[in-house]
Structure 1
Amino acid sequence: MSGAEEAIVELENRLEEVTLEDVAARHRREKKELQAKLQAMKKNAPKNNKNKRKEFLEEMTRLEGELEQRHKAELQAAEAKEAPGNVAEPAPEEEAKKPAVKVDENKEEDEEEDQAPSNQRVSKAQKRRNKKAKEAREREAEIKVELQNAANQPSPKLIELEQITAKLSGRQLTLHHIASDGDCLYQSIRHQLIVNGLPGHSVQGLREETANYVRANKEALISYMTHPETGDLLDDEQFEKYCQDIEKTHAWGGHIELKAISSLLRVPIEVIQAEGAATLLGQEEFGGSPLVICYHRHIYQLGAHYNSTVPAEA
């Protein structure tokens, strides 16, 4: 038996009186819980191991896919249970125990009876079934509208991409996509050197020069370098490990590395992001046209990412 079939059986056995509204509410809660779980997984994801990062991404995709499949199966089961043909008729003894129908309900039932063929009398049980089926259809329509509205909301990734694209368009630039492999900052800088006709550097060469610059300027930089888990300033041992990670691993780069690269290449670097003004490093020291790259917070689930740019006419 597949996971979807097991979900349907469990739903039928445990939730005899479930409604589409109940199912939708629980689905929203479970989606929030999964997002919290994925955020926790992201914090613990290895940043310097390409294979482990790939395994982590596949696990996130699997969890999201399983939840979506189960939710689809449960919605189908709930819809089938609330269909008019599946509503059980009350037993005679239960029928006798029910209170008298209110005046407004009598009026509604009379209207339904008037709509029936003259030679066919609609029983009270059938009227109740019709009413319950109508309410179920109304709830289902409301849920579909709610889900559709949620699906139509643009994702943070799309919003960010549109904002960055608009800023680049105003400067006659377009995005040049860089692979998300931990080297995106260095790959973006390497691409910009080629675009601007400047002396080229390999990614490994940029990493080694950056690590050497950070070591040589330890006193000026260490006061800005903190441990990602504790938030405390790095001690000497942690500082050296930081430099080794720059040089020998695929550790992601940030502001410290950008400052180092700008200084060692003696060229300004401009970082465009969706919100706020662009960050410009080295303009006062070196002048000239900057290397222009983009910083994305939401483009990938595993974290931030850098892309390069090219002139729009290219």
Structure 2
Amino acid sequence: MSDRELRSLRAIRITGDGRCLFRSVAYGACLRRGKQSPSDSAQKELADELRAKVADEFVKRRGDTEWFLEGDFESYVRKMRKPHAWGGEPELLMCSHVLRMPITVYMYTSSSDSPRIIAEYGQEYGKDNPVRVLYDGYGHYDALQPSLERCVDNRRLRYLSFFYRTAA
């Protein structure tokens, strides 16, 4: 993504209630699917649903995930099922698997006016139009949304792509 495109990303403030990672990802997944931005109460509901599916995904992938989780596996999963437990990198990875979508994490650095990519998950589900979240460096995640102009351009491209595919 170019610097110009990075500058066109708009941060969407997400409630900091222990669900911010899941709220941010759920918000971005709605946008990626072409849905309306979820209200605060819808974000909470979607975040709790996503959290439950992420915990289930840990159990499903235990052989692949147990080694990189801190402490006892069962205790970790039990903690992650609680609505106010903070999520991090392992949860972002599982979110990408649950949603079958790429997730890109950005962060502002002192050397740049625009956010920089610090992590990418779920690249096996594609690289275009990832769910974008902004990490503040202190435990909070916000959603990132492309500017309206860029969204309109992407919709136009998807429409044209669909039109030409079906017309051929």
Q: Secondary structure at the match of 2:64?
A: helix
CA distance 1:211–1:198, change in 2 (3 Å): farther
Q: Secondary structure at the match of 1:170?
A: helix
Give the number of the structure whose residues are more often helix, by fraction. 1
Q: Secondary structure at the match of 1:205?
A: helix
Match for 2:50 among 182, 197, 206?
206
RMSD (Å), alpha carbons: 2.3
Partner of residue 219, structure 1: 63
Partner of residue 242, structure 1: 76
CA contact (8 A) 2:104 2:132 kept: yes
Which AA in structure 2 matches 1:172?
S
Partner of residue 313, structure 1: 148
Match status 1:264 vs 2:122: no
Give the number of the structure whose residues are more often strand, by fraction. 2
Larger-gyration structure (1/2) = 1
Gaps of 5+ in 1: 1-166, 227-233, 298-302
Q: Secondary structure at the match of 1:248?
A: coil
- Give the Å deviation of 1:194: 1.9
Q: Would you say how many aligned residue pairs link Structure 1 and Structure 2?
A: 132
Gaps of 5+ in 2: 39-44, 110-115, 150-168
Alignment TM-score, normalising by the size of structure 1: 0.39
CA distance 1:198–1:217, change in 2 (3 Å): farther
Partner of residue 139, structure 2: 304
CA distance 1:210–1:168, change in 2 (3 Å): farther
Which AA in structure 2 matches 1:291?
V
Moved more, 241-250 or 266-275: 241-250
Superposition pairs of residues 67-146 of structure 1, within 5 angstroms: none
Partner of residue 255, structure 1: 89
Using the alignment, how far apart are the partners of 2:76 and 2:6 within structure 1? 38
- Give the Å deviation of 1:171: 4.6
CA distance 1:174–1:250, change in 2 (3 Å): same
- Give the Å deviation of 1:280: 1.1
Using the alignment, how far apart are the partners of 2:140 and 2:68 within structure 1? 21
Give runs of ≥4 in structure 1 deviating > 6 Å: none
Using the alignment, how far apart are the partners of 2:65 and 2:4 within structure 1? 31
Q: Secondary structure at the match of 1:185?
A: helix
Higher RCO (CA-CA < 8 Å; seq separation 6+): 2
CA distance 1:187–1:168, change in 2 (3 Å): farther
- Give the Å deviation of 1:170: 3.2
Partner of residue 286, structure 1: 125
CA distance 1:188–1:290, change in 2 (3 Å): same
- Give the Å deviation of 1:197: 2.3
CA contact (8 A) 2:104 2:130 kept: yes
- Identity fraction in percent: 28
Match for 2:18 among 153, 169, 182?
182
CA contact (8 A) 1:168 1:174 kept: no
Q: Cα deviations across residues 56-85 of structure 1 (Å, max 9, x unaligned)? A: xxxxxxxxxxxxxxxxxxxxxxxxxxxxxx
Q: Cα deviations across residues 16-50 of structure 1 (Å, max 9, x unaligned)? A: xxxxxxxxxxxxxxxxxxxxxxxxxxxxxxxxxxx
